[in-house]
């Protein structure tokens, strides 16, 4: 599958990029796990989840487990596509700024 590089303003802020990267590696993630892994407060994480859910990038479920309501989150297909495109766009940006081996050799010889 070919990924189309596309810079995504919704995903780009560092907190949301960290959230989406965490979710990209899992099927479902528990709210408390995400909070602890990212070092965010409950309210900060909830706000970012809401933004990503509103964009259609996250799916949030709130199943009952025993007496407690848990919050489980996963990337949607649109979220995965947006993340992959954003990563590809960032890789393109980095690639254009990286010197070629010849440029490095020329610089080293000066």
Q: What is the pLDDT of residues 3-20, one digit of tens each?
A: 999 999 999 999 999 999
Per-residue model confidence (pLDDT) at position 109: 67
- The pTM of the full predicted model, rounded to 2 decimals, is 0.82
For 41-76, the pLDDT digits (tens) are: 999 999 999 999 999 999 999 887 777 778 999 999
* HEC sequence for 42-89: HHHHHHHHHHHHHCCCEEEECCEECCEECCEEEECHHHHHHHHHHHHH
The CATH architecture annotation of domain 14-98 reads: Orthogonal Bundle (1.10)
């Amino acid at each position: 599958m070919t990924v189309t590089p596309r810079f995504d303003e919704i995903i780009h802020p560092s907190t949301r990029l960290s959230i989406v990267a965490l979710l990209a590696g899992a099927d479902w993630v528990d709210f408390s796990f995400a909070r602890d892994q990212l070092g965010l407060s409950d309210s900060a994480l909830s706000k970012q989840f809401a933004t990503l859910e509103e964009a259609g990038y996250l799916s949030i479920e709130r199943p009952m487990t025993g007496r407690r309501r848990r919050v489980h989150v996963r990337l949607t297909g649109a979220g995965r596509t947006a993340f992959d495109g954003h990563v590809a766009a960032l890789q393109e940006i980095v690639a254009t700024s990286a010197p070629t081996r010849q440029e490095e050799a020329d610089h080293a010889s000066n």
